[in-house]
Amino acid sequence: MTANYDYERPQRLGMPEAVLCETKDTGSLEQLIRELHIKSRVPFLLTRLYRQQFADLAPELASLLDYDELSGTAFLHGVQPKRPGKVAIVCAGTSDMRVAQEAARTLTFLGIEHAFFCDIGVAGLHRLLGHIDEICHYDVTIAVAGMDAALASVLGGLYRHAVIGVPTSVGYGVAAGGQTALNAMLASCAQGVLVTNIDNGFGAACGAFRILSAIYSKTQGTER
């Protein structure tokens, strides 16, 4: 397999192409990591790199990666420079942490300051209300929730800045692997809530990056 990596994406978008490792065999992953390591020294992000995949890599290649097992992400050549703006990651329950951590690691990679607000779903609304004043100091909020995913709607009604909902595949029976959460977020009565695909913490972080880039490029005179 020969990868056709988009090395010019940082110049176009401000963020590099990420490598989706899910379904890739060990040989393909090793070839890709070698190519990226040799051809460019800019930071690269690998996503959905599962524990066994990482364990199967040649030791000299694994040693090049900053790997986080919970999120299944890895950094090659470090992270990007710090950028302006702050993101709150609001996680309904600890069962949603894998997806929330994928968002957090992606933000770290992109150089964006962020904070976790964990296990404050609306099943105990007082937990969210106890943090809402602090959350309101952030430019963007990523709301990570499964089951009925009401967290995104509640945040959308309490918080004036951008809310990006991430439905997760957490829940019993009719939660249907995240389909119920996805539909609930899409049908939110809160105005302007944005929604990613199921379990797509990476996509939510990239969306936050685009929003912050639009906000701060104008204030810094770098709008394209």
pLDDT tens digit sequence for 167-218: 999 999 999 999 999 999 999 999 999 999 999 999 999 999 999 999 888 6
Ramachandran bin of 193, using left for φ above 0, alpha for ψ from -120 to 50, beta for the remaining angles = beta
Q: Are 50 and 23 in contact (CB under 8 A)?
A: no
Q: Exposed, middle or buried by CB within 10 Å (0-12, 13-18, 19+), for 218?
A: exposed
Average pLDDT over the chain reads 91
Task: Tell which wins on pLDDT, 7 or 28.
Answer: 28
Task: List, in sequence order, every residue forming a beta bridge with 87; answer none if it has no partner.
Answer: 114, 140
- In this prediction, residue 40 has a pLDDT band, given cuts at 50, 70 and 90, of confident
Cα–Cα distance measured from residue 60 to residue 57, given in angstroms and rounded to the nearest whole number: 8
pLDDT of residue 223: 45
What are the boundaries of each domain within the chain? Answer: 9-76, 83-216
- In this prediction, residue 219 has a pLDDT band, given cuts at 50, 70 and 90, of low
* Mean pLDDT to the nearest integer, 9-23: 84
Q: What is the pTM of this model?
A: 0.91
* Mean pLDDT to the nearest integer, 25-38: 92
Find out if CATH 3.40.50.1970 is the number for domain 83-216.
yes
Q: How far is CA 11 from CA 160, 207, 213, 224, in A?
A: 31, 17, 14, 11
- What is the CB neighbour count within 10 angstroms for residue 148? 19
Q: Are 91 and 97 in contact (CB under 8 A)?
A: yes
> What does the pLDDT look like over 95-151, one tens digit per residue?
999 999 999 999 999 999 999 999 998 888 999 999 999 999 999 999 999 999 999
Cα–Cα distance measured from residue 39 to residue 43, given in angstroms and rounded to the nearest whole number: 12
* Amino acid sitting at position 188: S
